Amino acid sequence: MNRCVSVIIPAWNMGQFLRDAVASIPDVLEIIVVVADSEDDTLEVANELVRERPGVSVLENPKKIPASGRNIGLRHAHGDIIAFIDADDVWPRDRLALQLERLDRHPPADVVAGLAVYFDKLDRAALAPASDARVETRFIQGVPTMIFRRSVFEQIGDFDESLTYGEDADLILRIVEANIPFAILNTPTLYYRRHGNSMMNRDLARQKSDFARVVGLSLARRRRLGLSVEPLSFDRYFEELKPGSTL
């Protein structure tokens, strides 16, 4: 089935990486870059990409947090499938095709995730971790590893803009609590760049408080819904690749 895919990229002070992120995205309906006020050339790079690649557009984010950028992108997206990538990360080749195929395979899924490969050095020609990069592969509760049917957001709402950190973990917990069909492919669907300017290297106190709030909100919802308050495990969502499928 043909799908119209909208890819949303929140960007703030990521001019040095944004081109890699966009280059790793295959042909899709649209790529929406939502730029917060930056001290570097992020906006200039984004506008250059608009001129160079059809389907790229740029919007302004008045807040310097990913939740706001993602919500702005969602409000302007036209696709029936929504995907996200952070401006400093890269998509593995063929990941989108693999995830789209899984959406409609029995049993159908509304969200398809995968694994994240953390890396510190990029092979720009291959748009993949360099042969001498330090890598670590694991599952994370991060929306850049996932694709979503638009109906997911119509059902559970958008990202919580009161959270500077953990807004994607909050969204994923709401998806699980709502029993939305969810699958995790046991293969990488994101190359996650480690670097000194990463948002995750700043404001550790705010990170701790936001992630604690995410857990507290989830527990409160589950109590209200009569669900178990035991720690959630994602093991039951993992799936092996369909025979013959590769990245």
- List the chain pLDDT tens, one digit each, 247 residues: 568 999 999 999 999 999 999 999 999 999 999 999 998 999 999 999 999 999 999 999 998 899 999 999 999 999 999 999 999 999 999 999 999 999 989 889 999 999 999 999 999 999 999 999 999 999 999 999 999 999 999 999 999 999 999 999 999 999 999 999 999 999 999 999 998 777 666 778 888 999 999 999 999 999 999 999 998 889 999 997 654 444 4
Joined together, the tokens standing for residue 12 give 């703030």
Cβ neighbours, 10 Å, residue 32: 25
Q: Where are the alpha helices (DSSP H) in 24-166?
A: 42-52, 66-76, 95-104, 150-156
Q: What share of the chain is helix, strand, coil (3-state, %, to 5)?
A: 35, 25, 40
Does this model's pTM top 0.85? My answer is: yes
Domains and CATH numbers, the chain: 5-239 (3.90.550.10)
